Homo-oligomer: A and B are copies of this chain.
């Protein structure tokens, strides 16, 4: 199949963001950009690309999908890359033993189409070439998306995975707008606020001795983040939950000699 026609205007309609986590090869970034352009996507974000940015090999592989490359944004953390999104799916070919929904591409695309049609922002995470996404990256997502591949041949390169998800977006996005009304849920908070909640809670738990063994802390943190992500909290709910944490945490400030004098009188503290 052939054909690139630069005389046709390009539309930057609202579409999902594509977030590549630590991509290693410029060729793959370029091929992913081209695959996005094939199906009308344009918001490409890179988290710590190994060879920096811009990247000449990416330009060559993008085959004139310049409007995508020009929009590329580079981030130092995944948290920053998804800060403005309110629906985030993690693509993976491996089961993760995590408390996350697993969706096929069609269901994921339909969900994103409904979300974006409602004026909100959605994005898809793709992992690095050799290892895919790390569990702490998957933990930041609302659900997992996996492709209906043969079990014996599950591996796709990043550009192929981006191509298939972009195709599926294109195919299903028209249908996604068809519902006469959407649910009554307020918008989920931007991911940056959820990260703020996590960091607040984890900081307090560090102080309280919740993480008894250091080597278990990462998986405990992932489990907590996974549980707290599923609720799709609004900004108001996140403020409330942070108030909850602060309220419990402050109930008995760490005693210092001056305060303790007072505290010895029953009922004055708290």
Contacts and interface: CB of A to CB of B under 8 A. Distances in A.
Contacts of A204: 248
Contacts of A95: 180-181, 184
Nearest to A150: B40
Given A152-B10, A201-B244, A146 B179 contact: yes
A10 B149 CA distance: 12
Interface in A168-214: 170-171, 175-186, 201, 204-205, 207-210
Nearest to A8: B152
Contact of A152 (B9, B102, B252): B9
B208 A250 contact: yes
A111 to B, nearest CB: 14
A160 B36 CA distance: 12
A164 B166 CA distance: 11
A223 B236 CA distance: 10
Give me the 8 closest cross-chain CB pairs, A-B, nearest first: A252-B252, A3-B154, A102-B183, A1-B93, A231-B231, A95-B181, A8-B152, A210-B247
Interface residues of A, number: 111
Interface in A119-133: 126-127, 130-132
Interface string A45-79: 00000000000000000011100000000000000
B1 A127 contact: yes
Interface string A245-262: 101111111110100100
28 contacts: A1-B91, A2-B130, A2-B132, A2-B154, A3-B93, A9-B152, A65-B153, A93-B180, A99-B184, A99-B186, A104-B179, A148-B171, A149-B170, A154-B180, A163-B164, A204-B248, A208-B250, A209-B247, A209-B251, A210-B248, A223-B236, A227-B233, A227-B241, A228-B231, A230-B231, A251-B252, A252-B252, A260-B264
